[in-house]
Amino acid sequence: MTDAGTAHVLTVAQNWLDQDPDAETRIELETLIRDAASGSEPALDELHSRFDTRLEFGTAGLRGRIEAGSARMNRVLVGQAAAGLAAFLLEREPGATPSVVIGYDGRRNSKIFATDTAELMAGAGIRSILLPRLLPTPVLAFAVRHLGASAGVMVTASHNPPADNGYKVYLGGADDGSQIVSPSDARIEAHISRVASTGNVLELPRSTSYEIAGDDVVDAYVDATAAVMTSEKVDLNVVYTAMHGVGWETFSRVATTAGLTLPSSVPEQQEPDAAFPTVAFPNPEEPGALDLAYALARETGAELVVANDPDADRLSIAIPDVSHPEGYRQLSGNEVGALLGWRAAVLAAEQGTTGGVLACSIVSSPALAAVAAAYDLDFVETLTGFKWVSRVPGLIYGYEEALGYLVNPRTVRDKDGISAAIDFLSMACFFKAQNITIERVLDAFAEKFGYFASDQLSLRVTDLSDIAAIMAHLRANPPTSLGGVGVVGIDDLRNGSDALPPTDALRFRLEDGSRVMARPSGTEPKIKFYLDVQRPNDRRDEASVLLAAMTTELREIAAAATA
Q: 523: pLDDT confidence band, cut at 50, 70 and 90?
A: low
Give yes or no for residue 500 having a pLDDT over 90: no
Task: Report whether 55 contacts 80 (CB < 8 A).
Answer: no
Q: Read off the pLDDT of residues 229-264 as tens digits, 9 standing for 90 and up.
A: 999 989 999 999 999 999 999 999 999 999 999 999
Q: Read off the pLDDT of each residue in 508-525 and give the average, rounded to a whole number.
A: 90
pLDDT score of 408 = 96
**Closest C-alpha among 331, 332, 324, 266 to residue 295:** 266
The CB-side HSE value for 446 (13 A sphere, CA atoms) comes to 21
Q: What is the largest CA-CA distance in the chain?
A: 80
Give domain 225-449's CATH superfamily: Alpha-D-Glucose-1,6-Bisphosphate, subunit A, domain 3 (3.40.120.10)
Q: Is 158 assigned a catalytic role?
A: yes
Burial of 465 (0-12, 13-18, 19+ CB in 10 A): exposed
Residue 553 belongs to what H/E stretch? helix 541-561
Give yes or no for residue 524 having a pLDDT over 90: no
Other CB atoms within 10 Å distance of the CB of residue 504: 14
- DSSP class of residue 174 equals G
Sequence ranges of the domains in the chain: 1-52, 56-213, 225-449, 450-561
Give yes or no for residue 485 having a pLDDT over 80: yes
Residue 473 belongs to what H/E stretch? helix 465-476
Instruction: Look up the pTM and report it.
Output: 0.95
Q: Read off the pLDDT of residues 136-152 as tens digits, 9 standing for 90 and up.
A: 999 999 999 999 999 99
Residue 431 belongs to what H/E stretch? helix 417-432
Q: 1: pLDDT confidence band, cut at 50, 70 and 90?
A: very low
CATH number of the structural domain 56-213: 3.40.120.10
**Closest C-alpha among 82, 157, 112 to residue 311:** 157
Give yes or no for residue 519 having a pLDDT over 80: yes
Alpha-carbon radius of gyration of the chain: 24
Q: 4: pLDDT confidence band, cut at 50, 70 and 90?
A: confident
pLDDT score of 59 = 66
pLDDT score of 2 = 59
Q: Read off the pLDDT of residues 277-303 as tens digits, 9 standing for 90 and up.
A: 999 889 999 999 999 999 999 999 999
Catalytic-labelled residue, pool 158, 364, 365, 454: 158
Task: Report whether 493 contacts 508 (CB < 8 A).
Answer: no
Give yes or no for residue 92 having a pLDDT over 70: yes
Tell me the one-letter amino acid at 122: A
Rounded to whole angstroms, the Cα distance separating 553 from 563 reads: 15
Task: Report whether 218 contacts 414 (CB < 8 A).
Answer: no
Q: Read off the pLDDT of residues 166-202 as tens digits, 9 standing for 90 and up.
A: 999 999 999 999 999 989 999 999 999 999 999 899 9
**Closest C-alpha among 180, 199, 69 to residue 123:** 199
Q: Read off the pLDDT of residues 305-325 as tens digits, 9 standing for 90 and up.
A: 999 999 999 999 999 999 999
Q: Read off the pLDDT of residues 41-79 as tens digits, 9 standing for 90 and up.
A: 999 999 999 999 999 887 678 999 999 999 999 999 999
pLDDT score of 225 = 98
Rounded to whole angstroms, the Cα distance separating 492 from 276 reads: 40
| Residue with the larger pLDDT of the pair 131 and 4 | 131
pLDDT score of 504 = 93
Backbone angles phi, psi at 427, to 5 degrees: -65, -45
Rounded to whole angstroms, the Cα distance separating 358 from 364 reads: 12
Mean pLDDT of the chain: 95
Show the beta-strand stretches assigned E in 184-339. 211-212, 238-241, 264-265, 304-308, 315-320, 328-330
The conformational region for residue 191 under phi > 0 = left, psi -120 to 50 = alpha, else beta, is alpha
Task: Report whether 338 contacts 368 (CB < 8 A).
Answer: yes
Angstrom CA distances, 157 to 63, 109, 275, 282, 330, stand at 6, 11, 13, 11, 23
Give yes or no for residue 204 having a pLDDT over 80: yes
The CATH class of 450-561 is alpha beta
Sequence-distant (≥ 6) Cβ neighbours of residue 509 within 8 angstroms: 487, 488, 489, 490, 491, 515
Rounded to whole angstroms, the Cα distance separating 12 from 275 reads: 31
Same topology for domains 225-449 and 450-561, yes or no? no
Q: Which long-range contacts (CB under 8 A, 24 or more apart) does 43-48 make?
A: 44/6, 44/9, 47/9, 47/10, 47/13, 48/5, 48/9
